[in-house]
Each structure stands twice: as structure tokens, then as C-alpha cells.
């Protein structure tokens, strides 16, 4: 079964692994071994934006950092589909962040869990969250 990683989970793994909750870390380690981890393509846009604004400083060039994440975690990169786009615009979401909405909608559409610390996403109908 595939497991989707939220953008901040990728940041934690690559820059601050101590910030990952134990259950999230264990799930990522198992998923990495099984080749079942995924992320949404928009996560790379979010990361690039954080790097460009100086909110995150990668230890290597931003492109290399993101490529290393994909390789290290054996990530499958998922694209936005029409179904995901429609779900992301439904009224189940408590906030307006388009990336968060798309990432959660991807997990809902694919009926797979999402690793996230984002409390706003916990409890969404049809979403299984892995964190603590």
C-alpha cells in the first residue's frame, strides 16, 4: 500500500529528522524499505519556494536536495488528476492552503494514508493520518 508524505515530512526527514514523531518515522522507514512512499509533485514547488525565500537552507543545491529526497526515500511522485483537483476544492477542508488541500485530496482520492503533523488535516472525512 502506498503512503503519501506531506511536504513538511520531507523537510523533517532531510533536515531535522528529530522532528518526526516516532510513528511517522517508523512508517517512513518501513515504507522506504518497501518502496511504498509517495509525495505529490506540488511538494517540490513548496520546497523551492521555501528555499527561494530563505525560510529553509538546504545543505546542497535545492535541486540536488530534492533529488536526494526522491532517491533516499524511493519516492513515487504523484501528479494532480481531475479527481484530486475536484476533491481539493470541496468544503471538507478547514483552510485555504492550496498545496495542503491537494496533498490531502491525493491521499483521499487514492484511499491511502498521509504522514502529516498538520492538525488541520487530522479528522478530514476519508483521510487516514499517520503521525503519533
Instruction: Give the number of other Cβ atoms within 10 Å of residue 111's Cβ.
Output: 11
For residue range 75-116, list pLDDT tens digits in order. Answer: 999 999 999 999 999 999 988 899 999 999 999 999 999 999
Structure pTM? 0.95
CA distance 74 to 91: 33
Parse the chain into domains and list their residue ranges.
3-130
3-130 has which CATH code? 3.40.50.1010
Instruction: List the one residue out of 61, 2, 55, 50 whose CA is nearest residue 27.
Output: 2
Q: Which residues pair with 40 in a beta bridge?
A: 78
Amino acid at each position: 500500500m502506498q503512503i503519501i508524505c506531506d511536504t513538511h515530512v520531507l523537510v523533517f526527514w532531510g533536515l531535522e529528522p528529530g522532528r518526526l514523531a516516532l510513528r511517522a518515522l517508523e512508517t517512513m522507514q518501513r515504507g522506504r524499505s518497501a518502496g511504498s512512499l509517495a509525495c505529490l509533485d506540488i511538494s517540490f514547488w513548496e520546497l523551492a519556494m521555501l528555499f527561494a525565500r530563505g525560510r529553509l537552507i538546504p545543505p546542497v543545491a535545492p535541486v540536488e536536495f530534492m533529488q536526494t529526497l526522491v532517491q533516499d526515500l524511493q519516492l513515487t511522485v504523484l501528479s494532480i488528476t481531475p479527481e484530486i483537483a475536484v476533491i481539493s476544492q470541496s468544503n471538507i477542508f478547514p483552510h485555504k492552503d492550496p498545496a495542503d488541500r491537494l496533498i490531502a485530496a491525493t491521499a483521499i482520492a487514492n484511499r491511502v494514508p498521509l504522514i502529516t503533523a498538520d492538525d488541520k488535516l487530522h479528522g478530514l472525512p476519508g483521510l487516514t493520518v499517520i503521525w503519533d
